[in-house]
Structure 1
Amino acid sequence: MEQFLSTIDDLEARIGKTPNLAKLKTIDHLDEGALTWLAASPLMMASFGGKEGIGVTFGAAAPGWVSGNSAELQIPAAMIDDPDMARTGVSFGSFFMIPLINELLRVNGRVIGNDGEVIHIAVQECYLHCGKALLRSKFWQTGSAVQSPTTLDQVFDSARFLALGTIDANGYADISPKGDPARAMVQLDTDMLWFADRPGNKRIDSFRNIVSQPHVAAIVMIPGSPYVARLVGTARISDDPVIRTRFAVQEKVPALVTAISDLSVELMQSDALVRAASWIATPVPPDVEPARITLAHLKLNNNLEAQQAAAAMSEPGFVEQKMQEDYKKNLY
């Protein structure tokens, strides 16, 4: 019988508290590095929601399709699969992807306007997310994956990536990337869809949100295919050892698994992913350096611990080296 966690204390007892350093990498605006990243990104995965619920959608166009300044992000409504989700006042969570780069730029905020042409987002959070989800999913290696699945079972069997949208008790939205090999990404068990927790950026925002407010939305996808499974449901977190063992990869069993019940699922083609395919093979822009952006965000934080960490990591190549070591040692 499944064992579900119901409190933050239960959660932290299993996986620990969020380290302060993970929080100190967050800034409340778009700095130069973030704007450079946005200018190079052809693909966005986003959540829109509030106390009434949440949805997940994709957006894509040629690099440069989104614009903004330090305080505001501007997104062309026509380039999003579901622009009607972006109602004025709802909360916004997103990550922006650059082909062949595994790190993600996270931008969270609130919709302050949508005139049908441009969606205006007031930026509240910006930070760089580690590349583990994309590495585990081999996101940029499309290979011989099922490109045109005709059933939900085909999507679930071949899926290697999941974008999970959650909201907290106050209606603030978040979207979290999840990546794993096929058949270890998601498993459908009777009326529940399960997926594993793996090492990541240690913020555990989605877990905290699920404990306080369990309504979630997600898109399950096969990298390289525009056909996805979009779903909404009720999420619960479990440490059941039998179910966790089913998700073992490289002989490493995840600490927690998540079940989504009360499922409403649809198979759909994402127009955004169709457009994004045109830019997947583009070379990495030379001025986009994830390690440099991470260090810059630390330096922008006036907290003493952040300043001390930034000083310690300022040696050329240090941050990049530590990131690669972490990916090698702590992928699972």
Structure 2
Amino acid sequence: MTTTPESVVSSTTATTAPNRPGSLFDALHAGALSDPAQLREIYEQPGDQARRKQVDHLHEVAQRLIACSPLVFVASADAAGRCDVSPRGGPAGLVSVLDEYTLAIPDATGNKRLDTLHNILETGRVGLLFVVPGRDATLRVNGRACVSTDPELLRQLTAVGKPPRSAIVVAVEEVYGHCPKAFLRSSAWKPENWLAKDAQPSSAEVTLSHLRDESLTVEMIEQIEREALLYRYE
């Protein structure tokens, strides 16, 4: 196993966006909306069904849908309000429903930045989006969160191959289905509409452009990525 160069390992230290006087964002922000009432001047009120579809627990149908999902996106924010979203994947049923108000997400090996876990320690909140490949509708779950290393809990969470080092435990507060329009508009599940790989920047190209390290090449980073995937459940 090749050791990852120190320059490839990103810092977990939170950074503040640089001050860019006269930036395009500043120009647009000056005239941006600032009051919820302004939103309703350009958007209609939601329909009755949209208002009533939110519940505060994982009913039987929601639990079945979570059991079908191999992929969940976890949104979090730190104490300063800096937001982050991270995908978590595994076999269907990756996320365990402990009861109708509680679920647990095993933490599998990643890049070891631990951004999501740090954010949870700071604010104790997450938003989840459950995705099932081929299905256009998704499920959103929001609530309080903590990082648990309880041995009894971890022994139950073997979806990623063995008990994880920690788990994100979520106290469910909001549950609702999300309409399929985003997936329909994007044709995300239609391979015939996907861009060819050679028409996209590769993961290694993106990483190299961020590192700006002349001692590294795309091929070196591709090798590091291949070896890292061999230990994805470490």
The match for 2:149 among 236, 239, 257 is: 239
User: TM-score under structure 2 normalisation?
Assistant: 0.70
Equivalent residue for 1:223? 133
Moved over 4 A (4+): 26-29, 86-89
Using a 3 Å threshold, how does the CA distance of structure 1 residues 116 and 167 change in structure 2: closer, same or farther? farther
Partner residue in 2 for 1:195: 105
CA change 1:197–1:272 in 2 (3 A) is same
Q: Does 1:321 align with 2:234?
A: no
Cα separation, partners in 2 of 1:327 and 1:264, compared to 1, 3 Å: same
CA deviation after TM superposition for structure 1 residue 163, in Å:
0.9
Residue 274 (structure 1) shift: 2.1
The offset of 1:193, in angstroms, is 1.2
Is the contact made by 2:134 and 2:189 (CA closer than 8 Å) also made in structure 1?
no
Say which of 81, 87, 100 aligns to 1:177.
87
Q: Matched residues in 1 for 2:134 and 2:203: separation?
A: 23
What is the TM-score normalised by the length of structure 1? 0.51
Name which of 190, 198, 204 aligns with 1:286.
198
Aligned pair in 2 of structure 1 residues 88, 187: CA closer, same or farther (>3 Å)? farther
Opposite residue 131 of structure 2, the aligned amino acid is M
Q: What residue is the counterpart of 1:208 in the other structure?
A: 118
2:163 aligns with one of 250, 253, 258: 253
Match of 1:158 in 2: 68
Deviation string, structure 1 residues 244-289 (Cα, Å, up to 9, x no partner): 1222246422110111104211123231022223564124241422
- Unaligned runs of at least 5 residues, structure 2: 1-6, 26-31, 36-40, 44-59
Q: In 2, Cα distance between the equivalents of 1:211 and 1:290? A: 29
Q: Does 1:23 align with 2:11?
A: yes
Q: Which protein shows a greater Rg?
A: 2
Unmatched runs of 5 consecutive residues or more in structure 1: 1-18, 30-69, 73-85, 90-114, 118-149, 300-306
- The structure-2 alpha-carbon separation of the partners of 1:205 and 1:87, relative to structure 1 and needing over 3 Å to count, comes to farther
| CA distance 1:208–1:242, change in 2 (3 Å) | same
Paired with 1:248 and 1:327, the residues of 2 have a C-alpha distance of: 18
Residues paired across the two proteins, number: 191
| 1:323 aligned partner, one-letter code | E
Residue 265 (structure 1) aligns with: 175
For the Cα contact (< 8 Å) 2:69–2:132, is it kept in 1?
yes
Q: Is the 8 A contact 1:192 1:263 kept in 2?
A: no
Counting strand residues as a fraction of each chain, which structure ranks higher? 1
Q: Which amino acid aligns with 1:272?
A: A
Percent identity (aligned)? 23
In terms of fraction of residues, the more helix-rich structure is 2
Q: Relative to structure 1, is the Cα distance of residues 278 and 209 closer, same or farther in structure 2, using a 3 angstrom cutoff?
A: closer
Distance 2:10 2:196 in 1: 26
Q: Matched residue of 2:154: which SS?
A: helix
Deviation at 1:155, TM superposition (A): 1.0
